[in-house]
Amino acid sequence: MDPEEDLVPIKDDTSSVLFMATASEADSLASSLNSITVPYLASFPPQSTEQKQQSQALQKHMRLGSQLPELFDDDPAALRGYVADKFRFRALSAYASVRAATAVDLIPADPLFLCVGGGPGSDAFGCVLAREGGPPALVFDYAVGWQPVVEQVGELSGGRVGWGGVVDVTQDVAGTTLETALRSRSACVVVFHYVLCEVMRSCEAGDNRDLWMTLVLSIVAGAPTGTVVVVQDQPRDGRVVKLLRERLAGIRDVSVAMVGENRNRSGGKKKRRGAAARREEGGEWDSTTLVITIQG
């Protein structure tokens, strides 16, 4: 990419800049996302006012960390509303994280992406867009209600996304389909995209404030050498990343790095100022991405 090429901002649903892209990259992303969201939403009748309210209620529960698995099973219309409102932006955010980590050589070649808390498949789709080739990305979630949505996304994506199974971030990886997947391939990238933020909020209200770390720490303790864990924290929060870095400090055979987009946030066209860089190098950041590598 020409370092002086004009770039355009790719934004999330709060208008925060996720990363800077060339016009051709932005057009390609828009086309890929439309190939999923447009036919998916067109396969259902328009939402009623009540259904829209149910969708908004589900999203509120997710923001507060008060969601329960049955909320995802009771009303498919609420899930459809989430796809309409969030799929595009969550896919772009996951794409940005993988893009940044790839640029500093923290993502292995042809990895198997394992997206935890990844319903409806937006995170997985963003990951495979960021790394063309390789196997389909697998989605794991504690709400089995997402499975038919993920499977439909898989069909629309030409088989690039698949359902991996039921996994709870508050439980150990041992004995799960995620553990099986981790041992099925030499290069795996486990992605936690905002899900730890949501679960942490619910744990803070209970007796075990660190329960949200259980799955991550068990992966770090037992996954094969070369496994990479990508944790996307909420912008302008950062508590998940801060607490994980503190817990992982001093653990042998584990490296930890922060990645993201180092850029000028002023409006208009931008010049490239370092596509991806470790956070310690400075700059302004709209995302907080932690990359953990198990070195063995």
pLDDT in tens, 156-177: 999 999 999 999 999 999 999 9
Alpha-carbon distance 223 to 238, whole Å? 25
Residue 268 domain-assigned?
Answer: yes
Instruction: Supply the DSSP symbol for 212.
Output: G
Does residue 59 have a pLDDT over 50? yes
295 exposure class (CB count in 10 Å sphere: 0-12, 13-18, 19+): exposed
Does residue 83 have a pLDDT over 80? yes
The pLDDT tens digits for 174-212 are 999 999 999 999 899 999 998 998 888 878 777 788 999
Q: Is there a contact between 116 and 140 (Cβ–Cβ < 8 Å)?
A: yes
Residue 3 domain-assigned?
Answer: no
What residues have CB less than 8 Å from 69, skipping those under 6 apart? 142, 143, 144, 145
Q: Give the dihedral sign, CA 116/120/122/128.
A: positive
Alpha-carbon distance 273 to 8, whole Å? 13
The pLDDT tens digits for 2-45 are 555 689 999 887 788 888 999 999 999 999 999 999 998 888 77
Please state the domain count of the chain: 1
What residues have CB less than 8 Å from 185, skipping those under 6 apart? 111, 112, 135
pTM: 0.85
279 exposure class (CB count in 10 Å sphere: 0-12, 13-18, 19+): middle
**Whose structure tokens read 């890929």?**
32
**Total count of residues recorded for the chain:** 296
CATH of the domain at 270: 3.40.50.150
Residue 22 domain-assigned?
Answer: yes
Q: Which domain holds residue 60?
A: 8-294
Please provide the DSSP assignment of 140-196 as one string: EES-GGGHHHHHHHHHHTTSSEEEEEE--TTS-STTSHHHHHHTS-S-EEEEEESHH
Residue 1 domain-assigned?
Answer: no
Residue 2 domain-assigned?
Answer: no
